[in-house]
A and B are shown apart, each in its own frame.
Chain A
Amino acid sequence: MCERVGHGALAGVTMVGVLRTPIAPRLRSNINPNDPEFIQNRDDMLEQLDVIEDLLDQAEAGGGPASMERMRSRGKMPVRERIAMALDPDSPFLEISPLAGYDSDYTVGGGMVIGIGVIAGTECVILANDPSVLGGALTPYAAKKWNRALQLARDNKMPYVSFVESAGADLRVETGNSGRRRVQVDHFAESGRFFYDLISLSGTGIPTVCVTFGSSTAGGAYQPGLSDYNIFIKQQTKVFLAGPPLVKMATGEESDDETLGGANMHSEVSGLGDYFAEDETDAIRMCREVVSHLNWRKAGPEPSFEVEEPTLDPAELLGLLSRDLKRPVDIRDVVGRIVDGSRFEEFKARYGTTLVCGWASVHGYPVGIVGNNGVLMPDAAEKAAHFIQLCNQIDVPLLFLQNITGFMVGRDFEADGIVKKGSQMLNAVSNSTVPHLTVIVGSSYGAGTYGMSGRAFGNRFTFLWPTAKIAVMGPSQIAGVMSIVRRAQAARKGIDFDEEEDAQIIAAVEAIQEAGSLALVASGAISDDGIVDPRDTRNVLGMCLSVVANKAVEGTEGYGVFRL
């Protein structure tokens, strides 16, 4: 039997890019998985992960079973089914901030799903209203997610796909069910920024594709209005500046929503609709077809190394960090469980040893890693500045692994120029133009948060482990500092210092600060992109490295003046 070869093609030969074989040495493990402390840490971590799983279930439930059922009875799919159907089969989906709105009066998730997925072979930012939650009305959390989605598309130069079905702004002025005031994240006057950003995407060559699954009223109407491609669904899409009630109020005109802003009218008369879909499935098909014609080519590099799973067991990441973060962790034990083949080429291994720098690859993408092995010392800050410049020189993205209580304080360190050398590091981080990915595995306190390319320092992605704690300083330090201040005040005023009361205050402040620093609180406030299971770190980073490569990866050619 012979293999048939048609049209003169050479059978069995495919040209592939040449991938480099990594040659950096493999890291060795410093872990004893049978150590009781390790086992305790792991059990604690799994318990925390269970809590997160429950919260993800809540996010998936959206507005609840009754609300979901109502949608289904109208032939509508739940938001997550819409997304799943749009994605390429078996491709990954990186949901961003799924636990937004945690511990608030709003449903976990905030009534919106955002993430990065692959549609027709193209990595896209996907934003979808969850109409089961308050009819898809724009909660403060949804607003912040929307901003983040636009930022992701802009910063990484990726097509932006939105699945719109929103009652519009949340017009209710009352407080939430619990009587607590809803979080006021921003003001109406600011929120127009969405529209500005959305239309800016288009202007910078980033296509915006909008499928309007239901009502999109008033401000919402501008989502399709400002998108490059509009897919409307028969008898389902309603887009108008004002719905029948407001029209009646404004002009007295009687109308129904189908004639006022139905898919048919927009497709045949107004011209707002570009594609007329028979139903939701048809609309998603059209969406995939539109993305497939975008001719999207990533401006950044392809993976350059062969992909090899880590030789150290990623499951052991679960037992590294203790719940109280008191026990030191060798960050190389994290590195070795997330990088390709556990291979790591360390830079300046004997200098500034409280910071670990070196090169590795994750899912084939080269990456420079900066990880904390203790408090930031002046020499470690210098080393970081050096290393970050090197990565910029060779256009390699940076990965920051944060477990940082801050820059070292004290007389000797001030004298050694901790402010000066710390500023060098901040300068290097701030002006670096290669993409930064940040994972907070443990502490993230004070200026260390920023120096290690925290959210405020323009990184592309920030992910937390469940063990992460983020604050201006550690809870006991805050409580202690405040106690010292109180004691000094008492001494100044010449009154007796109530030690018992002080102890109570210290305990209370510590507890409040501790609670406020938890990963879930940070993630609920969308101050990051989500909490990841430590075992997923490698895959999340691999996906992020692919995502950032949609835009050219280019290091800076100039830095601010280094204070040397």
Chain B
Amino acid sequence: MSETIRQIDTVLVANRGEIARRVARTAREMGIRVVTVFVDADADALHVDDADTAIRVGSYLDGDAIVEAALRMGADAVHPGYGYLSENSSFAAACEGAGLIWIGPTPAAIDAMGDKIEAKRHAVAADVPVLLSADDPDEFASVGFPLLIKAAAGGGGKGMRVVESAEELGEAIDAARREALTGFGDDRVFAERYVRRARHIEIQIVGDVHGSVVHLGERECSIQRRHQKIIEEAPSPFLGAERREAMGAAAVSLASAIGYVSTGTVEFLVDDESGEFFFLEVNTRLQVEHPVTEEITGIDLVRAQLRVAQGHPLDWAQGDIGFTGHSVEARIYAEDPSAGFLPATGTLHAFEAAAMPEVRLDSGVGPGSSIGTDFDPMIAKVISRAPTRAEAISSLALALERMHIGGVVTNRDFLAATLRTAEFAAGDTTTDFIERVDISSPPAEAETRFWGVAAAMWLQAMNRARAGVLASMPSGFRTGRLPAESVVFALEAGGGDNLEVHYRRLRDGGFVLGRDADQGTVVVHRVTPDSIDVEWGDIRSTARVTRAGDTLYLTGPKGTVGLSIVPRFVPPEAEVPVGAVAAPMPGRVVEVRVTQGEAVLAGDVVVVLEAMKMEHHLRAAEDGVATEVRVAAGDQVENGALLLVIDSTE
């Protein structure tokens, strides 16, 4: 037990994105200088801007380079954030070996808990209930079906697979191993029982170097898609005081048994029917969803980590921990919920929280940020806090809806719609929520039309303002007859008809709509380069507006609509070959299964693409011959890139 306080003056944050910025914020508040590292793809990232100094490294996983960077920058401590090296005990040991303070649990605790099989043994020893499992693939069937295969070295849901029956088992094991190997460099997998209607509830723990461990209550993280959490809340609407106490005690007992220091999370699976809880794993780091705990306890977990790392005792005993109100967090992912949550990329042209309602935004991005495939697609977290659960849910939904986001497809609408379901309101939140509950929320056509009109009005105002000649003339001034001005928008999200807006200026400064002036009048009350206040018919509303190239993003009260100007003139462009197989998302080509001139049958897998650690099989649409093969295994391809052409006439 360390008896001395080791002052931290400079911390190196060995991470990126929102968590690097989150850690930097508290460190600065505590008077600690912040340095960081970055890789080439993050040269323009905001965490680099935030830091006093940043060192370019080859990879966020390059422990040696990071330790070297910390020493060069004169850092006293290393904060690993989450992911990357946060649960890497050798890195923790390397930091300590270099005389740096490691902000996290001891390497031994990481080892004990980092390996899920090992962790389970510790849980059993501490009398914490566990689910049946098997480590030997030959014995996987013995845990019963359905079962879940997980990577031994994994985390964050990557490499997990549900297996419904014995027939699927063999192939699933192979696939899981492959993903585990590419994802974590370790192909060991294990299987465990799968609880069909389960809740994911976890306990936040904090321990100090003086032997104290407390828990800060639970977070329910049952709303998941593809085994990754998207909405978390604290407290759980499911737990009563008694079970909360039992789970808390179990978590503390497990942590105490291994001498746990710093923050950690003990994850449980809770059977929605019986209420039983089963130990899943311990995450020996700060969790993504830590803010909801902070919001209801008033405890800054990063501050707690930094204090513990300096050798201070915890500021509170278990009895001092109280919970006030309710907090809900939603994770904004750059992904397309309507396309199976496929990762989305692009430039985030618009990204701004609404002024009201006030919510916490932990974000790694800003307007202009580029979203690629190099990193996890989670770009920001929005966190609400309110006296009641219902208010916390509503204010989060509203904050999401009013957020100005454009340029990259995100799950924002999906999150808001999820929060607005009756099931969520009722606390009927199990891990199969997304599959079970209908969350579709088609945009109202009338609203889209309204924003189309607003966009046209904004555009004409900007066209006037930017005009090189005659800029002070009224919009579309005429002394004779010409057809109405018009603009055609395509919905950036695709689908639906194009929006055509025809308008003529009226002498009073308003506009009459419609080719034949039969669609009412519009008054532009105020227009600025980034907003418009417009009245059409008897409806008046204001939108935040951002233009990026030929696309306008308008955020009204119910989300952002992306409207792409359909150009009046289409320049001659290359024809797209018939039978083209294009990349449905950016990724890396794993395998090309056809060669030029080879015959294929409809449905044959022709290319295997890996994106975000998932394999995607691209199939031939028709029987034919591969006349062109443009890619090879290992190629990195952009969204929409032409991969090969199958000629069905040959």
Rounded to whole angstroms, the CA-CA distance of A90 and B368 in the bound complex is 29
Rounded to whole angstroms, the CA-CA distance of A91 and B463 in the bound complex is 8
Interface: B473 (CB within 8 A): yes
**Docked-complex contact B477 and A539, CB < 8 angstroms:** yes
Interface: A163 (CB within 8 A): no
Q: Which residues of A contact B571 (CB under 8 A)?
A: 285
Query: A308: shortest Cβ distance to chain B, in Å?
Result: 10
Q: Which residues of A contact B507 (CB under 8 A)?
A: 535
Which residue of A92, A123, A282, A285 contacts B478 across the interface (Cβ within 8 Å)?
A92
Q: Which residues of A contact B467 (CB under 8 A)?
A: 88, 90-91, 118, 121
Q: Which residues of A contact B476 (CB under 8 A)?
A: 90-92
| Stretch of A56-64, A234-242, A400-408 that contacts chain B | A56-64
Q: Which residues of B contact A92 (CB under 8 A)?
A: 470, 473-474, 476-478
**Docked-complex contact B469 and A98, CB < 8 angstroms:** no
Listed residue (B351, B470, B478) with the most chain A CB atoms within 10 angstroms of its CB: B470
Query: A148: shortest Cβ distance to chain B, in Å?
Result: 14
Q: Which residues of B contact A56 (CB under 8 A)?
A: 480-481
Give A258-296 as 1s and 0s: 1 = Cβ < 8 Å from B's Cβ atoms: 000000000000000000001001101100100000000
**Docked-complex contact A84 and B483, CB < 8 angstroms:** yes
Q: Which residues of B contact A85 (CB under 8 A)?
A: 568
Residues facing A in B403-462 (CB within 8 A) are 459-460
Q: Which residues of B contact A231 (CB under 8 A)?
A: none
**Docked-complex contact A1 and B470, CB < 8 angstroms:** no
Residues facing A in B324-363 (CB within 8 A) are 351-352, 363
Q: Which residues of B contact A160 (CB under 8 A)?
A: none
The chain B residue with its CB closest to the CB of A532 is: B479
Rounded to whole angstroms, the CA-CA distance of A532 and B480 in the bound complex is 10
Rounded to whole angstroms, the CA-CA distance of A78 and B351 in the bound complex is 44
**Docked-complex contact B472 and A94, CB < 8 angstroms:** no
**Docked-complex contact B480 and A113, CB < 8 angstroms:** yes
Give A86-121 as 1s and 0s: 1 = Cβ < 8 Å from B's Cβ atoms: 011111111100100000000000000101001001
**Docked-complex contact B479 and A95, CB < 8 angstroms:** yes
Which residue of B368, B369, B460, B470 contacts A118 across the interface (Cβ within 8 Å)?
B470
**Docked-complex contact A94 and B479, CB < 8 angstroms:** yes
Which bucket holds chain A's interface residue count?
35 or more
Interface: B627 (CB within 8 A): no
Give B539-581 as 1s and 0s: 1 = Cβ < 8 Å from A's Cβ atoms: 0000000000000000000000000000011011000000000
Interface: B496 (CB within 8 A): no
Query: A499: shortest Cβ distance to chain B, in Å?
Result: 48
Q: Which residues of B contact A115 (CB under 8 A)?
A: 479-480
Interface: A319 (CB within 8 A): no
Query: A54: shortest Cβ distance to chain B, in Å?
Result: 11
**Docked-complex contact B472 and A4, CB < 8 angstroms:** no
Interface: A530 (CB within 8 A): yes
The chain A residue with its CB closest to the CB of B369 is: A4
Which residue of A4, A288, A543 contacts B44 across the interface (Cβ within 8 Å)?
A4
Query: B28: shortest Cβ distance to chain A, in Å?
Result: 15
Query: B36: shortest Cβ distance to chain A, in Å?
Result: 16
Q: Which residues of B contact A542 (CB under 8 A)?
A: 470, 472-473
Q: Which residues of B contact A455 (CB under 8 A)?
A: none
**Docked-complex contact B481 and A298, CB < 8 angstroms:** no
Query: B481: shortest Cβ distance to chain A, in Å?
Result: 4
**Docked-complex contact A530 and B482, CB < 8 angstroms:** no
**Docked-complex contact B479 and A1, CB < 8 angstroms:** no
**Docked-complex contact B480 and A91, CB < 8 angstroms:** no
Q: Which residues of A contact B480 (CB under 8 A)?
A: 56, 59-60, 93, 95, 98, 113, 115, 530
Residues facing B in A202-231 (CB within 8 A) are none
Interface: B394 (CB within 8 A): no
Which residue of A113, A278, A303, A540 contacts B472 across the interface (Cβ within 8 Å)?
A303
**Docked-complex contact A80 and B478, CB < 8 angstroms:** no
Interface: A383 (CB within 8 A): no
Q: Which residues of B contact A87 (CB under 8 A)?
A: 482
Rounded to whole angstroms, the CA-CA distance of A164 and B46 in the bound complex is 57
Q: Which residues of A contact B463 (CB under 8 A)?
A: 88-91
**Docked-complex contact A89 and B487, CB < 8 angstroms:** yes
Query: A19: shortest Cβ distance to chain B, in Å?
Result: 11
Query: A156: shortest Cβ distance to chain B, in Å?
Result: 13
Rounded to whole angstroms, the CA-CA distance of A279 and B463 in the bound complex is 27
Listed residue (A89, A122, A542) with the most chain B CB atoms within 10 angstroms of its CB: A89
**Docked-complex contact B470 and A91, CB < 8 angstroms:** yes
**Docked-complex contact A4 and B469, CB < 8 angstroms:** no
Q: Which residues of B contact A123 (CB under 8 A)?
A: 469-470
Rounded to whole angstroms, the CA-CA distance of A549 and B114 in the bound complex is 77
**Docked-complex contact B474 and A539, CB < 8 angstroms:** yes
Interface: A83 (CB within 8 A): yes
Interface: B468 (CB within 8 A): yes
Rounded to whole angstroms, the CA-CA distance of A448 and B572 in the bound complex is 57
Q: Which residues of A contact B44 (CB under 8 A)?
A: 4
Which residue of A81, A285, A288, A363 contacts B473 across the interface (Cβ within 8 Å)?
A363
Known pairs A2-B46, A123-B470, A285-B569; A90 contacts B366 (CB<8 A) = no
**Docked-complex contact B569 and A282, CB < 8 angstroms:** yes
Q: Which residues of B contact A95 (CB under 8 A)?
A: 478-482
Interface: A509 (CB within 8 A): no
Query: B334: shortest Cβ distance to chain A, in Å?
Result: 17
Q: Which residues of B contact A3 (CB under 8 A)?
A: 367
Given contacts A90-B476, A118-B467, 5 further A-B contacts (CB under 8 A): A2-B366, A84-B482, A91-B473, A285-B571, A536-B477
* 24 pairs, CB–CB < 8 Å, chain A vs chain B: A2-B46, A2-B49, A2-B366, A4-B366, A56-B481, A80-B482, A84-B482, A85-B568, A89-B485, A92-B473, A92-B476, A93-B479, A98-B481, A115-B479, A121-B469, A281-B569, A285-B569, A288-B569, A307-B472, A536-B479, A539-B473, A539-B474, A542-B472, A542-B473
